[in-house]
Amino acid sequence: MLDIRFVRENPELVKENIRKKYQDHKLTLVDEVIELDRQCRAAKQAADDLRAERNKYSKMIGGLMAKGQREEAEAAKKLVTEKAEALAAAEKQEEELAEAVKKIMMVIPNIIGPEVPIGKDDSENVEVQRYGEPVVPDFDVPYHTDIMETFAGIDLDAARKVAGNGFYYLMGDIARLHSAVISYARDFMIDRGFTYCIPPYMIRSEVVTGVMSFAEMEAMMYKIEGEDLFLIGTSEHSMIGKFIDTIHDEAALPYTLTSYSPCFRKEKGAHGLEERGVYRIHQFEKQEMIVVCRPDESPVWFDKLWQNTVDLIRSMDIPVRTLECCSGDLADLKVRSIDVEAWSPRQKKYFEVGSCSNLGDAQARRLKIRVNGKKGKYFAHTLNNTVVAPPRMLIAFLENNLQADGSVRIPEALRPYMGGKEKLEPKA
């Protein structure tokens, strides 16, 4: 969420940013919120004036009574009552106008970074760099669920009966591989200086609206019926929520945290062949990283975060590339985002396995995450990035490490988490 003062002082810049995000339907909101803010400030000034007058007459009453000036005292009491009634009306108006301003400010998008390419949607994201050589083997690579089935490692039919579409049972070596990847990612991030956390898997609505836009919330979140709780779609939401309404000493920053959690998502809409199996599902597990830092540090941390993901995936012998997300593909709170995509030998193309985002002070402003600095208080910057998100990550792992005989090679970095195994053998 932007600072209303920034919108007041830079209306054309805010409008141009809206155009860059192809959200022209929001252009009228800029002038509307500026006018509402003017009215709100006027209502506040009126309330302040009435409060001062009420207090002035209240103080006069005791002195008039002491002097025996009863009539004057009664007149002052009457004025106090009138001022109090007018003040109550002004305060109510101020509150209503402030809420109207906040409602609009919540949907005006954050100012995107200068590095962000201008484009309508993810088809216009720009490739930045490739890491590792993409290989297409000289044998057919089966669909990922077919690979898993050769190891008796997945049961979608049973999951469908138990929970419906979008769920799965992982078993045996595939389930172990899933857990091994998560454990390896945890230790990888701890070795890079991040503090390991396990957060709450449910969050209140004030945290939800603090960390994401209304459109994202509607598309992603599961609501707990009868309670002010939502299942988390990613542990970033819970981890950033940890800092709600807090003030931190500047010297304590940055906070660098890595968190494990299950994630729950609606994943609305129909999906094609490549998004069946365990690609796009309602429940999965993820290792995440978040940073809370000073504004001047956030660009540096942004580059460190996505590089962590690249390094992790490359250590499992999977080729990857990075994409700079274009303006139209950025969620409203984001300043900048880079997707990390893994190579799929079967599809002969890359697909997303992680996303790194710098949100500037948007989340901090909504959640009141403040810093005590040398020049006064300011809002922190928040960043997040996927470390690894199996079982989607398993697709890239299985395809890139599949051998001609149907076995799956275990990269050296992962072997300690697989009991020393060097490969997985298909079941007879």
pLDDT at residue 271 greater than cutoff 60: no
Strands 255-264 and 222-223: unpaired
Q: Indicate the domain borders of the chain.
A: 4-105, 122-424
Say if CB 172 and CB 148 are below 8 A apart. Answer: no
Tell me: domain 4-105, CATH 1.10.287.40, correct? yes
pLDDT at residue 428, rounded to an integer: 65
Average pLDDT over residues 229-243: 96
pLDDT tens-digit series, residues 403-418: 999 999 999 999 999 9
pLDDT at residue 126 greater than cutoff 90: yes
Closest CA to 42 of 107, 101, 104, 82: 101
pLDDT at residue 61 greater than cutoff 60: yes
pLDDT at residue 392 greater than cutoff 80: yes
Instruction: Report which DSSP code applies to 348.
Output: T
220 band by pLDDT with thresholds 50, 70 and 90: confident
Backbone CA torsion sign across 114, 119, 121, 127: negative
pLDDT at residue 272, rounded to an integer: 52
Average pLDDT over residues 309-322: 97
pLDDT at residue 70 greater than cutoff 60: yes
pLDDT at residue 273 greater than cutoff 70: no
76 band by pLDDT with thresholds 50, 70 and 90: confident
pLDDT at residue 270 greater than cutoff 60: no
Tokens linked to 382: 């928040």
Average pLDDT, the chain: 94
pLDDT at residue 29, rounded to an integer: 98
275 band by pLDDT with thresholds 50, 70 and 90: low
Task: Supply φ then ψ for residue 355, to 5 degrees.
Answer: -145, 130
pLDDT at residue 138 greater than cutoff 80: yes
How large a percentage of the chain has pLDDT more than 90? 84
Distance CA 303, CA 357 (A): 10
- Tell me the helices (H) and strands (E) count for the chain, helix number first: 13, 18
**pTM higher than 0.75, yes or no?**
yes
Report how far Cα 173 is from the mean position of its chain's Cα atoms.
Answer: 32
pLDDT tens-digit series, residues 281-301: 899 999 999 999 999 999 999
CATH topology of domain 122-424: BirA Bifunctional Protein; domain 2 (3.30.930)
pLDDT at residue 211 greater than cutoff 90: yes
What is the DSSP track for 216-267? HHHHHPEEPTTSS-EE-SSHHHHHHHTTTTEEEEGGGPPEEEEEEEEEE---
